[in-house]
């Protein structure tokens, strides 16, 4: 195989720009887009007009596209509940998948999806393109090198998600438990939650407060504060909101030998001349002396290839040459576990130990779906066949 034949499922806010990067801008030389699927006729019309000079087949039904024999892999960018359903349909036919974030709404469905991918022996990637940003790539290398020692504390303040009420009112499915499956944690923050677990590992305990309709007329959370506890005793915090402007996006990780700060696309490392775990302070001239610090600032050039394209290039290489994906099935499960645990902690006002009680989460989610103003999704696993 020289090129992977790719089908795009969902020609909306994500599917359209990704299609453009693939088809018009040529960022993925080992991929040919051979099919586009969307259940809305006006979107298909827009795609046909956009790519009128390209040999692309259009579908309104995902089953027909998967049975067509013209795709080796698909990129899925549809509403969250449908992610596992469509992915598993592809796996049944031996078709590889790149799945837009999040992996799903609840971990029970995602765990089933991951098992289906493993059984089918296909390549299954998660679209966590923030991992490709040079600042996070560098941070990952420094952490893995061990030069800063063990992690002591993690703090991520991410409040650059301001949304107006008009945004939430733009679709009946938005900001509803039945339509979207969650709020700022499920919609805006999956990339930060993925990076959090990718850089620092999974915590052992989570306690969170998720404020519903704090700043908007919605039925989901729009303001969250969570505390994390890791295996080595390190503590962490994750704070996010869609009701703050201007916001802040700052990740600070403290280690035994200094701190790492990521903000504004820049990385600052403050390295200590001694290890805090062994520092006694006997050589200090004054009572409150601290270890000496060496500050290193890293700046990175603008990336020319979009992160989405880099992720799809990795998928193509995995299919053609058997190389590794950048983010896979387990990463999708880990990211969703973090948000599910934060929800469950808030709903039950309790500390959630990981692995969490997935059955309890699912039951609590169904209660909220049952009272949701959006009635197009049932509380059971969604069957999306009729939608495509």
Q: Give the whole-number percent of the chain exceeding pLDDT 90.
A: 89
**Cα–Cα dist 308/25, whole Å:** 13
Mean pLDDT of 367-382: 71
Give backbone dihedrals phi and psi of 183, rounded to 5 degrees, phi first. -115, -125
- The widest CA-to-CA distance across the chain, in whole angstroms, is 77
Residue 378, pLDDT above cutoff 80? no
Chain segment 194-233, per-residue pLDDT in tens: 999 999 999 999 999 999 999 999 999 999 999 999 999 9
- The pLDDT assigned to 193 comes to 98
- The pLDDT assigned to 95 comes to 98
Chain segment 328-343, per-residue pLDDT in tens: 999 999 999 999 999 9
For residue 306, the Cα-to-chain-centroid distance in whole angstroms is 16
User: Residue 332: left (phi > 0), alpha (psi -120 to 50), or beta?
Assistant: alpha
- The pLDDT assigned to 71 comes to 98
Q: Where do runs of H (alpha helix) occur along 51-133?
A: 62-67, 82-92, 107-120
Give backbone dihedrals phi and psi of 171, rounded to 5 degrees, phi first. -155, 140
Mean pLDDT of 149-164: 98
Residue 55, pLDDT above cutoff 90? yes
284 against 298, higher pLDDT = 298
Residue 306, pLDDT above cutoff 50? yes
**Cα–Cα dist 375/18, whole Å:** 30
Mean pLDDT of 1-29: 93
pTM for this predicted structure: 0.94
Chain segment 244-292, per-residue pLDDT in tens: 999 999 999 999 999 999 999 999 999 999 999 888 777 777 888 889 9
Mean pLDDT of 66-79: 97
377 against 314, higher pLDDT = 314
pLDDT confidence tier of residue 172, bands split at 50, 70 and 90: confident
Q: What is the DSSP letter of 121?
A: T
Residue 160, pLDDT above cutoff 90? yes
Give backbone dihedrals phi and psi of 380, rounded to 5 degrees, phi first. -85, 175
Mean pLDDT, the chain, rounded, equals 94
Beta carbons within 8 Å of 185's beta carbon, 6+ residues apart: 193, 210, 221, 224, 240, 339, 342, 343
Q: Report the C-alpha dihedral over residues 6, 19, 76, 138, rounded to 10 degrees.
A: 100
Residue 106, pLDDT above cutoff 80? yes
Residue 351, pLDDT above cutoff 60? yes
Give backbone dihedrals phi and psi of 42, rounded to 5 degrees, phi first. -70, -30
How many other C-beta atoms lie within 10 A of the C-beta of residue 353? 13
Residue 383, pLDDT above cutoff 80? no
Residue 380, pLDDT above cutoff 90? no
Mean pLDDT of 72-84: 97
Measuring CA to CA, how many Å separate 312 from each of 92, 160, 309?
A: 21, 27, 5
**Cα–Cα dist 23/46, whole Å:** 14
Signed CA dihedral, 202, 128, 78, 121: sign only = negative
Look at 8-12, 13-17, 180-184, 188-192 and tell me which has the smallest mean pLDDT.
13-17
Give one DSSP letter per residue of 255-289, joined into a string. Answer: ETTEEEEEETTEEEEEEESS-TTT---TT-SSTT-
Q: List, in order of start, the domains of the chain with CATH numbers.
A: 4-128+306-326+381-387 (3.40.50.720), 131-302+335-370 (3.30.360.10)
- The pLDDT assigned to 376 comes to 58
């Amino acid at each position: 195989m020289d090129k992977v034949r790719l089908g795009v499922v969902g020609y909306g806010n994500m599917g359209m720009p990704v299609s453009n990067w693939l088809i018009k801008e040529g960022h993925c030389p080992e991929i040919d887009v051979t099919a586009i699927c969307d259940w809305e006729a006006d979107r298909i019309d827009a795609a046909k007009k956009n790519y009128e000079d390209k040999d692309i087949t259009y579908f309104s039904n995902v089953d027909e596209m998967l049975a067509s024999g013209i795709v080796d892999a698909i990129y899925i960018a549809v509403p969250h509940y449908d992610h596992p359903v469509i992915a598993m349909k592809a796996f049944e036919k031996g078709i590889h998948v790149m799945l837009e974030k999040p992996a799903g709404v609840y971990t029970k469905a995602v765990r089933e999806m991951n098992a289906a991918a493993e059984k089918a022996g296909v390549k299954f990637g998660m679209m966590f393109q923030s991992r490709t940003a040079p600042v996070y790539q560098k941070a990952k290398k420094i952490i893995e090198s061990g030069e800063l020692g063990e992690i002591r504390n993690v703090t991520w303040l991410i409040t650059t998600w301001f949304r107006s009420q008009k945004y939430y009112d733009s679709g009946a499915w938005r900001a509803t438990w039945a339509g979207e499956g969650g709020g700022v944690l499920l919609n805006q923050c999956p990339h930060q939650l993925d990076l959090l677990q990718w850089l620092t590992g999974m915590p052992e305990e989570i306690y969170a407060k998720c404020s519903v309709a704090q700043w908007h007329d919605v039925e989901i959370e729009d303001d969250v504060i969570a505390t994390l506890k890791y295996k080595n005793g390190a503590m962490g915090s994750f704070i996010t909101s869609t009701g703050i402007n201007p916001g802040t996006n700052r990740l600070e990780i403290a280690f035994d030998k200094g701190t790492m700060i990521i903000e504004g696309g820049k990385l600052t490392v403050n390295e200590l001349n001694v290890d805090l775990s062994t520092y006694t302070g006997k050589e200090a001239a004054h009572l409150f002396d601290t270890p000496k610090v060496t500050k290193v600032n890293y700046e990175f050039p603008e990336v020319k290839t979009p992160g989405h394209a880099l992720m799809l290039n990795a998928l193509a290489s995995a299919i053609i040459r058997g190389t590794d994906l950048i983010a896979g099935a387990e990463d999708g499960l880990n990211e969703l576990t973090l948000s599910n645990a934060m929800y469950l902690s808030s709903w039950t006002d309790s500390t959630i130990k990981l692995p969490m009680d997935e059955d309890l989460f699912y039951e609590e989610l169904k209660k909220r779906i049952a009272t949701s103003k959006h009635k197009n999704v049932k509380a059971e696993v969604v069957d999306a066949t009729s939608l495509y």
